[in-house]
Amino acid sequence: FVDSTQKFVTGTVKLKLYKGNIIPAGTTSPYSLFSEELCTFGEDNVYDQKDAEGFINLFGLPCKVQANMKKLNNIKD
């Protein structure tokens, strides 16, 4: 199984060594999931800014549920 998960793991990693630290300096791979189109917010957006609102609401839901639970049970921080 593990071998099948590594099928597309290939490429080059550049690292900088500085005072006992290892700093990633770049990667390349023919199977990279990075797309400059997704990182560029021009007029021909691949990414819709409205998607961020849903993402924020979804990942903020546990905080909202916890706040409601504390309010219902009169729990103060």
Q: Among the listed ranges 4-18, 35-49, 63-77, which one has the minimum average pLDDT value?
A: 35-49
Q: Where are the domains of the chain?
A: 2-72
Q: What is the mean pLDDT of residues 36-48?
A: 68
Share of the chain above pLDDT 70, in %: 87
Q: What is the mean pLDDT of residues 14-21?
A: 97
Are residues 31 and 11 in contact, defined by beta-carbon separation less than 8 angstroms?
Answer: yes
The rounded distance, in Å, linking the Cα atoms of 47 and 39 is: 8
The full DSSP string for 31-68 is T----HHHH--STT-SS-THHHHHHHHHHHHHHHHHHH
pLDDT score of 25? 97
In the structure, what pLDDT confidence band is assigned to residue 41 with cuts at 50, 70 and 90? Answer: low
Output phi, psi for 17, to 5 deg: -105, 125
pLDDT: is 39 or 19 the higher one?
Answer: 19
27: closest CA among 13, 8, 17, 9?
A: 13
